[in-house]
Amino acid sequence: MYSSNPVKSEDLVTFVLPLARHAGIIAIVAGALFAVGQLLAFVLLDRADPAGTLAGWPYRLSAVIVLVGFAGLAIAAVALYERQAAAAGRLGAIGLCAALVGTSFLGGDYWFETFAVPWYAVVLPEILTIPGADWLAVGGTTSYVLFSLGWLLFAAVSFRAKVFPRLVCIGLMLGAVVGFFAALPPYGAALGVAVLWLGITVFRMRRPTPTSPPGLDSIHTTSS
C-alpha cells in the first residue's frame, strides 16, 4: 500500500541530494582545514631539526589537521559533483572518480607521514636522512600524479559544465597543479584555498532543485 500523504520537497531534497544541499559548507570546512593544516605544518617545521619537530605534538596535530583535510576533500568532491551531476554528465562522473582516487592515494601517503614518520623520528631518527628511492619513490610519485591530475580533471569538467563560476574553476585548476606537492606543506594550501573559495561560492548559490529517482513518483499514489 502507498501513503496518501505527498512527500514534501524539502524531504525529497534530503532524500535524493543529502550532500548536495550542504555542498557549500562541506567545501568550506574541507578547504579551510586543508589550507590551515598545510600552513601550520610549514610554519612549525624546524628544518634545522626535523626529527625534533616531528617528535613534537604541535607538528603532529597540524599533520592530523591536514589528514582530516584530505578526507574532507574527498567528501567535498562528492558533494560538489552532486551539485553539477546533470550538467557534467559522464565526464563529471569520471572527474569525480579521478579526484577520489588521487585523494585516496595521497591521503594514504599522508597517513604514513602523520603517524609513522613521527614514530621513526623518536625511535630511529637517522632514517629521516635517507632519501626515498626505488619502490618507495614509485609509490610517492604515483600518488602525487594521481592527486594532481584527478583534481585537475575535476576542475576542468566543472569549468565545462558551467554550473560554478569559471573563474573559480580556473582557481581550482591552478590549485590542482600546485597541489602536485600537497604531501609537502605548504603546497597543498593552494588547493585548499581554491576549494574554500568554491565552497563560499556554492553556499551563496540557490540550493538544488530536487530530482525524483525512478519510481519515486509512485509515493504520491493513494491507496485504493
C-alpha cell of residue 110: 599522508
C-alpha cell of residue 46: 624546524
Closest by CA position to 121, among listed 42, 35, 54, 31: 54
Encoded amino acid at 195, one letter = V
- Cα–Cα distance, 32 to 42 (Å, whole number): 15
Burial of 19 (0-12, 13-18, 19+ CB in 10 A): middle
Q: 190 near 30, Cβ under 8 Å? A: no
Which pLDDT value is given to residue 224?
A: 40
* pTM for this prediction: 0.84
Which pLDDT value is given to residue 201?
A: 97
Cα distances (angstroms) measured from residue 5 to each of 2, 11, 16, 222: 9, 12, 18, 8
Q: What is residue 129's DSSP assignment?
A: G
Which pLDDT value is given to residue 59?
A: 94
- Cα–Cα distance, 190 to 183 (Å, whole number): 12
Which pLDDT value is given to residue 221?
A: 36
Q: 79 near 32, Cβ under 8 Å? A: no
In this structure, the number of other CB atoms found within 10 A of the CB of residue 175 comes to 29
- Cα–Cα distance, 58 to 41 (Å, whole number): 9
Closest by CA position to 170, among listed 151, 150, 191, 156: 156
Closest by CA position to 129, among listed 222, 57, 50: 50
Grouped pLDDT means (10 residues each) for the chain, 224 residues: 46 63 96 98 92 92 97 98 94 97 97 94 85 86 97 98 97 98 96 98 74 38 39
Which pLDDT value is given to residue 126?
A: 84
Beta strand residue intervals within 97-191, DSSP E: none
Look at the chain and count its residues. 224
Compute, in degrees rounded to 10, the torsion defined by CA atoms 64, 107, 194, 53.
40
Which pLDDT value is given to residue 143?
A: 97
Q: 41 near 63, Cβ under 8 Å? A: yes
Which pLDDT value is given to residue 127?
A: 83
